């Protein structure tokens, strides 16, 4: 007997078709519990390699290994049923050649059950994006501020401040769209450039520190929840979970010390 699931996930073509339409809502998530909440509101959830910094205390995303992405990707897929799940390919797993990228992206898709992968880079990654898409792997691209290249860029710097650099960013956006990416993240880009790119290409642009004129927006969940004491300055903080957790832990510690915890209600 087969079991039919009634809720179907949002698909890659559905996200692709939102170009110029209802704005696409997206957040990162790295584990099942938060993903289940985000799933009720987000069109896609990104298991971003930012998890290296946010969850594992790394200084950058450079050191994130593939198996860590797979572990968190699996957890997010398990915790959700509606949103499209996109998993980041970490640094060093796709740049070498389209073949290496295919092998690692296929492993991510098989072992997590996600619906798409994301990789960083514009024109230089176009050949790889085409290779993956032609072989059944949907790709979200990521241009502008690309954290995996932060050493080359000289840090986490807003892109496009100098108008002379705009043509290169515009060429990146066109190259990934022509190569078959179904959407592209525009990160850390001056507002008029992100708005201009959003008009120029026919796939959805997903902004982060970019422009309200993008086709959708993404934020790192912990940043917008108030869990990051030093969030990037473009982040609007919607929650105060850092303070909430501190209050709860402090109260618990006080009650343990006063031997008022556990009381009868908190025992088996």
Q: Which residues bind ligand KIV (CB under 6 A)?
A: 28, 46, 48-50, 88, 142, 185, 187, 208, 218, 220
95 given a catalytic annotation:
no
C-beta of 52 vs 98, nearer to ligand KIV = 52
Structure tokens at 252: 């618990």
> What minimum distance in Å lies between the beta carbon of 104 and ligand KIV?
16
Residue 254, burial from CB neighbour count under 10 angstroms (0-12, 13-18, 19+):
exposed
Q: Catalytic: which of 81, 127, 134, 187?
A: 187
DSSP string computed for 29-82: --SHHHHHHHTTT-SEEEE-TTHHHHTT--SSSTT--HHHHHHHHHHHHHH-SS
C-beta of 2 vs 69, nearer to ligand KIV = 69
> What minimum distance in Å lies between the beta carbon of 61 and ligand KIV?
6
C-beta of 155 vs 167, nearer to ligand KIV = 155
Residues 6 or more apart in contact with residue 105 via CB below 8 angstroms: 89, 94, 117, 132, 137, 139
- Find the radius of gyration of the CA atoms of the chain: 20
> What minimum distance in Å lies between the beta carbon of 137 and ligand KIV?
18
> What minimum distance in Å lies between the beta carbon of 247 and ligand KIV?
27
Structure tokens at 251: 């109260």
User: What is the Cα–Cα distance from 62 to 46, expressed in whole angstroms?
Assistant: 18
> What minimum distance in Å lies between the beta carbon of 95 and ligand KIV?
16
Q: Which residue lies nearest ligand KIV, judged by its C-beta?
A: 48
C-beta of 29 vs 128, nearer to ligand KIV = 29
Q: How many helices (H) and strands (E) does the chain have?
A: 11, 8
Structure tokens at 116: 């798409």
C-beta of 190 vs 220, nearer to ligand KIV = 220
How far are the Cα atoms of 72, 105, 170, 177, 259 from residue 228, in angstroms, in the given order? 20, 30, 32, 33, 32
Residue 158, burial from CB neighbour count under 10 angstroms (0-12, 13-18, 19+):
middle
Q: Which residues are part of the catalytic machinery?
A: 187
């Amino acid at each position: 007997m087969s079991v039919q699931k009634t809720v179907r996930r949002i698909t890659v073509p559905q996200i692709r078709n939102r170009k110029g339409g209802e704005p696409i809502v997206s957040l990162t998530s790295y584990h099942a519990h938060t993903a289940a909440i985000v799933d009720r509101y987000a069109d896609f959830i990104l298991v971003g390699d930012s998890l290296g910094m946010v969850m594992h205390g790394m200084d950058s995303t450079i050191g994130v290994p593939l198996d860590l992405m797979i572990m968190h990707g699996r957890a997010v897929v398990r915790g959700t049923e509606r949103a499209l799940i996109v998993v980041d390919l970490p640094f060093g797993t796709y740049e070498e050649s389209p073949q290496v990228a295919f092998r690692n992206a296929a492993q991510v898709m098989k072992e997590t059950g996600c619906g798409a992968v994301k990789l960083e880079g514009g024109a230089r990654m176009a050949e790889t994006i085409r290779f993956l898409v032609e072989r059944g792997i949907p790709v979200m691209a990521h241009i502008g501020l690309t954290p995996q290249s932060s050493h080359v860029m000289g840090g986490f710097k807003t892109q496009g401040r100098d108008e002379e650099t705009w043509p290169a960013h515009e060429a990146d956006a066109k190259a990934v769209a022509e190569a078959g990416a179904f959407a592209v993240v525009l990160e850390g880009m001056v507002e008029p450039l992100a708005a201009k790119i959003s008009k120029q290409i026919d796939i959805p642009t997903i902004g982060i520190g970019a422009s309200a004129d993008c086709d959708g927006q993404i934020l790192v969940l912990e940043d917008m929840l108030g869990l990051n004491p030093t969030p990037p300055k473009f982040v609007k903080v919607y929650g105060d979970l850092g303070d909430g957790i501190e209050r709860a832990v402090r109260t618990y510690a006080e009650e343990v010390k006063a031997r008022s915890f556990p009381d009868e209600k908190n025992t088996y």
